[in-house]
C-alpha cells in the first residue's frame, strides 16, 4: 500500500510537462526510421501501470498498485529485424475506480517501428516520448510514489498511454507490437527484456512467459540464459524456440538470452568480462558440428547397473526401472548389452553381453520390472563387474548406472572409489550415471562419470522426468566430439573450469569458464582440438583481448559457481579440509553466494546446492538473500541500505539526498545510474571512481518538497 498527496493536475498525467518536439497522440501511428541498428545488446521492455489515488473532498485515499496478472513477451528474431509482442494484464483490486497511466519502454539505442497498441483489444491512443521527454514523467512518478523503481527506464524511449480508467475489480490488458531493425554484429545477440513494470506491480505474477523464436537463414548455435530457466527446441538448423514459463513469479529479474549464429563446423566463441584494475574472466562456447555425420554411429556395448538397495527406496527404484527400460528401447540391432542389478551382491541377467534383438530386450525388461529394493549398496563390486563384462571388446563400451551413490558395503570411501575407477578402467569404458534419491552423493558420482569421459544427471522432478531423461539418454552413448582441449596463448589463464574439457554430447555446446590476470598485447591465440568420428580437428583463432568489457557481467559469477562446485566435490570426497573450506568461503563472500552446513541433517540442502553450482547458468539460483546484482555490480543490503561491495573506504564520499533536485539532475545527466539507484532510497555505490551515497529525505523536507 502507498499514499500520495496529489495536486489536481495529476488527474491529467501529462499536463505540465514541456516537450521540445511535442508529438500528438495517435492511433496506431507508424514510426519509420531509415537507419539500421548495429548493437549486440537489445533491450526490450515490459510496461509500468501507474495509478492515481482518488481525491474526495480534498483528501487522497490510499490504494494498492494494480496486480500484474499476465506478462507475456513474444520475440521473433530474423535476419533483418526483431519483432516484439508484449501482453500485460493488470487488475484494480481497490474499492475505488482509478485513473491510470501506462508507460512502455522501448529500445533506446535505435529506431522503433510501432505497429500496434491495443488497450483491452481496442486501438489505444499513445504518445512516443524520447528519453529527454520521458524523464520529467519518470521523475514525477518517483517523487509521488517515493519508489525509485521507475528510474530503471531512464534513458529509454517509451510509449505512453494516458487517460486509462480502471473500474472497481476491473482488469485491463495492454498489447504492444513493434519492430527493431536488426543486423548481427560479431555473430552474437545479447537480448535483454527488462521487467521493471512487473517488479513495480509488487504482487506475484500468476502467468509469466517469454518466448524467443529465431527464424534465420544462418545456423543458430549456442543459446544460454543467465537469468531464467529456459527450454530450447531446435526446429531446424536456423529455427529455434526458446521458452520460459513460470507461475506466481514475484519481482522477476530482467530476462536475458545470449545466442550465437553462423557456421556449421566445430567452432569456438569467446566472450570476456573485465573491469579496471581487476582480473579478467572469459567464457568459451565450444559448439558442435550442426549436422551429424552421415555415417551411423558405431555399434555399442552397454552394461546397465541398477541399484536395488534398500536406501534407494521403492519410489526411486521405480524411476530407475523406467530409465533402464527407456534406454533398452533405444538400443539398435547390432548393439550388445547386459543388465546387472546390485545391492549387497550382484545379480546378472545373461552372464555376458548379448545382441539387442527383441527377445533379449523383452527378457531384460521383465528382469528389471521384477526388481525389489533390499540390502546394502556394494557400489565398488558393481562397477568392477561392469568393467569385467566390457573387457576384451573392440568397440565402444558404456556403463549406465542408476544409483544414489551411497556405498555401504566393500569399498565405501569416496576418494578410494574414484581412484579405483581410474586404475581399473582398462577398457576405457564411459560411465553414465543417473543420480536418484533425495540426497544422492553427486560429488562422488559426478567425479566417477567425469574421469571416464561420461556424464551424470541428477534425476529431474517427476513431472519432467521421462522427457528429460529420454533426451539425456539419446545423447550420451555416441558423443559428437571427443578429446577436446583448449590452448590459450598470449595470456595467462588460471582456474579454468571444467578441467579437463568434457566431450560434446548431442547438439549442446560445452561451456568453459576461466579467470586470467595477465595478457600480452591486444590479441590472443586460441587453439581448439577435438576428435570427430575419431578424426582429429584443429581450429586456430585470433581473438581481441579487451582492456575493459562491462557487457557480460554474468561471466564472473558463473566462473565462481563452477569453481565452488569443484571445491565442494573435493571437500566431500576427501573429507573436511580447512584450506578447501576457506577457499569456498572466500569465493562465496566475494560473489554473495550461499554457503552450506556439512552436517548430515543438511545433506539434502548440500546436494541440491552443489548441483546448482555445477549445472545452473543462473547466478541468482545460488545468491544469498539480501544480495542483488545490477550489471557488473554486487550490492548487499545492510541496515536499510544497499551497499556496493566495490566501495573503497579510502575514496572521498559524495552524499546526495533521495528525491532532491541534485539527485534527479545527476540521474538525468548520467542514465547509467538509473538501474542501481532503482534498488531503493538508500544506496552506497562506487561510480566512475568515486563513492556515491544516497540518503533518505527527512520527513519534514519530503513534505515541503511536494
Nearest to 610 by CA among 569, 656, 647: 569
Average pLDDT, the chain: 86
If one compares 643 and 545, the residue with the highest pLDDT of the two is 643
Joined together, the cell numbers standing for residue 154 give 531512464
Q: Are 652 and 674 within one domain?
A: yes
pLDDT band at 42 (very low <50, low <70, confident <90, very high): confident
Q: Are 311 and 402 within one domain?
A: yes
Alpha-carbon distance 414 to 345, whole Å? 19
Mean pLDDT of 40-58: 80
Q: Specify the number of domains making up the chain.
A: 5
pLDDT(469) > 80: yes
Mean pLDDT of 490-507: 84
CATH of the domain at 435: 3.40.50.410
pLDDT(263) > 60: yes
Alpha-carbon distance 664 to 668, whole Å? 6
- Residue 328, in any domain of the structure: yes
Q: Are 468 and 528 within one domain?
A: no
pLDDT(119) > 60: yes
Alpha-carbon distance 503 to 512, whole Å? 12
CATH of the domain at 169: 2.60.40.3680
> What residues does 27 pair with on adjacent strands?
125
Q: Are 463 and 427 within one domain?
A: yes
Alpha-carbon distance 129 to 113, whole Å? 13
Alpha-carbon distance 527 to 485, whole Å? 8
Alpha-carbon distance 462 to 435, whole Å? 14
Alpha-carbon distance 195 to 461, whole Å? 28
Mean pLDDT of 301-307: 96
pLDDT(170) > 50: yes
Highest mean pLDDT among 346-350, 503-507, 594-598, 648-652: 346-350
pLDDT band at 10 (very low <50, low <70, confident <90, very high): very low
- Residue 464, in any domain of the structure: yes
**pLDDT value at residue 544:** 83
Q: Are 322 and 406 within one domain?
A: yes
Q: How many CB atoms lie within 10 A of CB 488?
A: 20
**pLDDT value at residue 296:** 66
Contact criterion met (CB below 8 Å) for 493 and 513: no
- Residue 54, in any domain of the structure: yes
User: What is each CA distance from 536 to 394, 481, 482, 508, 657, in whole angstroms?
Assistant: 20, 10, 9, 20, 63
pLDDT(519) > 90: no
Of 544, 567, 589, the residue at which a domain comes to its end is 544
Secondary structure element (H or E) that encloses residue 539, with its range: strand 535-544
Q: Are 257 and 273 within one domain?
A: no
**pLDDT value at residue 426:** 86
Chain Cα centroid distance, residue 32: 34
Question: For residue 188, what are the domain limits?
Answer: 8-261
pLDDT(702) > 50: no
pTM of the predicted protein model: 0.87
DSSP assignment string, 634-653: EEEEETTEEEETT--TTS-E
Q: E strands, 107-236, where?
A: 113-119, 122-123, 125-129, 157-166, 171-181, 188-193, 207-215, 220-224, 231-236
Percent of the chain at pLDDT > 70 equals: 91
pLDDT(703) > 60: no
**pLDDT value at residue 468:** 87
Mean pLDDT of 288-317: 84
Of 476, 499, 525, the residue at which a domain comes to its end is 476
Mean pLDDT of 329-346: 93
pLDDT(276) > 90: no
Of 429, 447, 476, the residue at which a domain comes to its end is 476
Joined together, the cell numbers standing for residue 472 give 539425456
- Residue 395, in any domain of the structure: yes
Q: Are 217 and 281 within one domain?
A: no
pLDDT(6) > 50: no
Q: Are 455 and 328 within one domain?
A: yes
Burial string for 79-100 (b: 16+ CB within 10 Å, else e) reads: eebbbbbbbbbbbbbbeeebbb
Mean pLDDT of 221-227: 96
Each residue's pLDDT tens digit, 355-374: 999 999 999 999 999 999 99
Q: Are 325 and 226 within one domain?
A: no
Amino acid at each position: 500500500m502507498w499514499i500520495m498527496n496529489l495536486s489536481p493536475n495529476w488527474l491529467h498525467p501529462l499536463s505540465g510537462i514541456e516537450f521540445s518536439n511535442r508529438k500528438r497522440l495517435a492511433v496506431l501511428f507508424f514510426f519509420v526510421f531509415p537507419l539500421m541498428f548495429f548493437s549486440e545488446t537489445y533491450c526490450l521492455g515490459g510496461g509500468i501501470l501507474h495509478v492515481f489515488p482518488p481525491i474526495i473532498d480534498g483528501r487522497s485515499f490510499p490504494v494498492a498498485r494494480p496486480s500484474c496478472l499476465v506478462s507475456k513477451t513474444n520475440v521473433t528474431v530474423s535476419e533483418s529485424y526483431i519483432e516484439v509482442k508484449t501482453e500485460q494484464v493488470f487488475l484494480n483490486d481497490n474499492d475505488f475506480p482509478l485513473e491510470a497511466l501506462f508507460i512502455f519502454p522501448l529500445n533506446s539505442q535505435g529506431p522503433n517501428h510501432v505497429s500496434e497498441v491495443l488497450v483491452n483489444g481496442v486501438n489505444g491512443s499513445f504518445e512516443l516520448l524520447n528519453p529527454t521527454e520521458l524523464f520529467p514523467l519518470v521523475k514525477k512518478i518517483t517523487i509521488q510514489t517515493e519508489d525509485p523503481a521507475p528510474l530503471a527506464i531512464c534513458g529509454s524511449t517509451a510509449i505512453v498511454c494516458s487517460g486509462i480508467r480502471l473500474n472497481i475489480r476491473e482488469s485491463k490488458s495492454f498489447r504492444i507490437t513493434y519492430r527493431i531493425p536488426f543486423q548481427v554484429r560479431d555473430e552474437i545477440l545479447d537480448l535483454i527484456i527488462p521487467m521493471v513494470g512487473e517488479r513495480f506491480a509488487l504482487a506475484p505474477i500468476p502467468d509469466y512467459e517469454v518466448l524467443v523464436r529465431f527464424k534465420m537463414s544462418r545456423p543458430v548455435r549456442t543459446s544460454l540464459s543467465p537469468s531464467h530457466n529456459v527450454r530450447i527446441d531446435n526446429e531446424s538448423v536456423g529455427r529455434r524456440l526458446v521458452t520460459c514459463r513460470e507461475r506466481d513469479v514475484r519481482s522477476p529479474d530482467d530476462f536475458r538470452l545470449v545466442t550465437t549464429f553462423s557456421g556449421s563446423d566445430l567452432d569456438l566463441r569467446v566472450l570476456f568480462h573485465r573491469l579496471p584494475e581487476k582480473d579478467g574472466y572469459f567464457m568459451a562456447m565450444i559448439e558442435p558440428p550442426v549436422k551429424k555425420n552421415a555415417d551411423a554411429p558405431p555399434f555399442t556395448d552397454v552394461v546397465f547397473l541398477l541399484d536395488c538397495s534398500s536406501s534407494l527406496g521403492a519410489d526411486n527404484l521405480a524411476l530407475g526401472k523406467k530409465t533402464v527400460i527407456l534406454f533398452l528401447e533405444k538400443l539398435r540391432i547390432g548393439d550388445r548389452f547386459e543388465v546387472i542389478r546390485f545391492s549387497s551382491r550382484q545379480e546378472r541377467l545373461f552372464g555376458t553381453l548379448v545382441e539387442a534383438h527383441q527377445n533379449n530386450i523383452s527378457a531384460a525388461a521383465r528382469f528389471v520390472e521384477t526388481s525389489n529394493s533390499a540390502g546394502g549398496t556394494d557400489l565398488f563390486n558393481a562397477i568392477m563387474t561392469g568393467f569385467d563384462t566390457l573387457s576384451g571388446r573392440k568397440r565402444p563400451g558404456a556403463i549406465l548406472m542408476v544409483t544414489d551413490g551411497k556405498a555401504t558395503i566393500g569399498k565405501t570411501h569416496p576418494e578410494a572409489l574414484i581412484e579405483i575407477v581410474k586404475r581399473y578402467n582398462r577398457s576405457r569404458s564411459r560411465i553414465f550415471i543417473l543420480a536418484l534419491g533425495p540426497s544422492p552423493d553427486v560429488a562422488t558420482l559426478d567425479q566417477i562419470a567425469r574421469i571416464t569421459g561420461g556424464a551424470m544427471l541428477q534425476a529431474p522432478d517427476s513431472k519432467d522426468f521421462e522427457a528429460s531423461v529420454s533426451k539425456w539418454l539419446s545423447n550420451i552413448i555416441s558423443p559428437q566430439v571427443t578429446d577436446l582441449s583448449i590452448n590459450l596463448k598470449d595470456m595467462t589463464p588460471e582456474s579454468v573450469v571444467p578441467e579437463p574439457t568434457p566431450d560434446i554430447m548431442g547438439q549442446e555446446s560445452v561451456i568453459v569458464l576461466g579467470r586470467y590476470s595477465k595478457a600480452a598485447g591486444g590479441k590472443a591465440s586460441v587453439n581448439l582440438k577435438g576428435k570427430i568420428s575419431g578424426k582429429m580437428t584443429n581450429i586456430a583463432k585470433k581473438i581481441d583481448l579487451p582492456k575493459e568489457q562491462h557487457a557480460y557481467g554474468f561471466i564472473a559469477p558463473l566462473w565462481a559457481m563452477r569453481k565452488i562446485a569443484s571445491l565442494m566435490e573435493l571437500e566431500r570426497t576427501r573429507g573436511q579440509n580447512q584450506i578447501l573450506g576457506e577457499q569456498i568461503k572466500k569465493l562465496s563472500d566475494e560473489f554473495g553466494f550461499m554457503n552450506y552446513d556439512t552436517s548430515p541433517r543438511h545433506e539434502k540442502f548440500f546436494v541440491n546446492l552443489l548441483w546448482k553450482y555445477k549445472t545452473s547458468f543462473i547466478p541468482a539460483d545460488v545468491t544469498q538473500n539480501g544480495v542483488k546484482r545490477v550489471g557488473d555490480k554486487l550490492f548487499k543490503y545492510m541496515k536499510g541500505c544497499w551497499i556496493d561491495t566495490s566501495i573503497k573506504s579510502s575514496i572521498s564520499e559524495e552524499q546526495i539526498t533521495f528525491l532532491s533536485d541534485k539527485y534527479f539532475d545527476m540521474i538525468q545527466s548520467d542514465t547509467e545510474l538509473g538501474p542501481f539507484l532503482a534498488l531503493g532510497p538508500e544506496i552506497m555505490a562506487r561510480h566512475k571512481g568515486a563513492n556515491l551515497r544516497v540518503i533518505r529525505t527527512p520527513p519534514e523536507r519530503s513534505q515541503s518538497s511536494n
